[in-house]
Amino acid sequence: MSSEDSSVPDGATRVGGLGPADRWLTVLLFGALGLSVGLLVPLLANWAAEVPWMPFQGPLQLIGSFDHDWLTWGRPAIGAVLGLLVALFVLRVSPVLTLTDERIEIRAGDEVTVIEREKVDGVRRKGSNIVILSATGRELFHGEVEGSKDALREAFLRHDYPWESA
């Protein structure tokens, strides 16, 4: 995925990160997952406490026995909040690469890494990860970058980075 906005320098290409629809979907899915876990915790704890080989029988029985009125809505609410916090963390640390002919800037959360063009000897995909290699074979970057394979490859080729088909 490449996008153009005011924070991208002229001639640069931005890849990675999630689009607005994907961001909302991520937040909704993690929130729903947290809510579901909050609803199912007592049922799962009671079931696990009855399995003879399951460790921590005492704590599981204790968790399953909480039946206060506020926990009926409190567990799902706490689960949903925790799910939303995990979603925000995932969105924050998802790397975004800004490519120019001179360098690659990788931004993940508050961390910014700059790789100068002359250090890059190869770029390839390894599963869902992008791997940027130096001339000595050292990995300058290895991480999951959101976007289609073709869009990522085209972005690197547009700036004359050596793309290796792997």
Residue 29 has what pLDDT?
Answer: 97
> In this structure, which amino acid lies at residue 41?
V
3-state DSSP assignment of residue 95? coil
> In this structure, which amino acid lies at residue 144?
E
Question: Residue 70 has which token pair?
Answer: 């506020």
The pTM assigned to this predicted structure is 0.70
- Which tops the pLDDT comparison, 165 or 77? 77
In angstroms, the CA 70 to CA 148 distance is 45
Instruction: Please answer whether residues 28 and 18 qualify as being in contact, where contact means their C-beta atoms are separated by less than 8 angstroms.
Output: no
Residue 4 has what pLDDT?
Answer: 42
Question: Residue 122 has which token pair?
Answer: 């190869």
